[in-house]
Amino acid sequence: MNTETYAVEKAERKDLPRILEIYAYARNFMKETGNPDQWKDNFPPETLLAEDIEKGNLYVIKGADGIHAVFFFVIGPDPTYAEIEQGEWLSDTEYGTIHRVAGDGTLHGVLEMIVEFCSRKIAHLRIDTHEDNKVMQRAICKNGFQKCGIIHIADGSPRIAYEKVETREMEIQAIPGDFSVCKVPDYSKVNLDSEYCFIGKTDEEKSLVCLTEDMPENADEHEDGWKAFRIRGVLDFSLIGILARISSILAEEKIGIFVVSTFNTDYVLVKSEYEERALKRLAKEGYVITRG
């Protein structure tokens, strides 16, 4: 299935019958794959799910043909994570917790979609699973979590605890000055000693992104009024989803972006009137904003 045709939405009371069907399927799948004890006795009960929906903490993954997966997500302290044995947490900062992930078996990459959604809300995530749930253990590790130790849930039974803390790509530096996007006949007048100078050449045009004060005199066309910020650090080429996450966040604010990539990192430009709103929203989503 193409996950691009699916969306994460908050569950509603009318979704409960389908949600209960999905959890029933998940319990049966667990039994068939050697994990009969994690969700025994018809867990999670309908009363708990209804409470989660009321509080706005239960989510579904929905396509045009209906709901295919469900999960719990909340930001803030989880009582079961207050104590951890045989290890320690990676970070004590505020985190989001993912619980009770279940799918109907028709949608692949369910946890990947969930983690992508939750990471947009907060960069620090925790999750746990039963020692017999080998399928979930593999999926958790595949999605960038690290095993941290053992926690105990309300009934005292142990769970393997995992944590994911995104830091390297989460710092954004606002660059001072105004930028222009230019079209030039050649690069003879370009100041290559300028602090910021991005050149692009194709079979159709020669373009330039530079500080407005350094715009070459031979620019045929130019659009001014851009502000830039960069993702701090050197980004590995194997990293995925960094620009997609930023683009999606700013799209929700109806802010268009212009992106320039270098060997080390990415630069995101927005129109000057949207700069402060963009940085404020990114800070709210967990990005660390620096200036200068």
Rounded to an integer, what distance in angstroms lies between the CA atom of residue 114 and that of residue 8? 8
Q: What is the pLDDT of residue 234?
A: 53
CA atoms within 13 A on the CB side of 33: 16
Q: What is the pLDDT of residue 239?
A: 53
Chain region(s) in the chain for CATH 3.30.2130.10: 171-291
Segment 51-97, tens digit of pLDDT: 999 999 999 999 999 999 999 999 999 999 999 999 999 888 889 99
CA atoms within 13 A on the CB side of 153: 14
Report the topology of domain 171-291. VC0802-like (3.30.2130)
Contact between residue 143 and residue 116 where contact means Cβ atoms under 8 Å apart: no
Rounded to an integer, what distance in angstroms lies between the CA atom of residue 235 and that of residue 171? 12
Q: What is the pLDDT of residue 146?
A: 94
- Residue 91 one-letter amino acid: S
Q: What is the pLDDT of residue 110?
A: 95
The pair phi, psi for residue 272, each rounded to 5°, is -55, -35
Residues of the chain with pLDDT under 50: 1-3, 168-169, 238
Asked whether the bond before 176 is cis by omega within 30 degrees of 0, the reply is no
Chain region(s) in the chain for CATH 3.40.630.30: 3-165
Q: What is the pLDDT of residue 122?
A: 86
| Token pair listed for 141 | 């590790």
Class of domain 3-165: alpha beta
Q: What is the pLDDT of residue 130?
A: 96
| Token pair listed for 204 | 């159709």
Q: Is the pTM of this model over 0.75?
A: no
Q: What is the pLDDT of residue 286?
A: 75
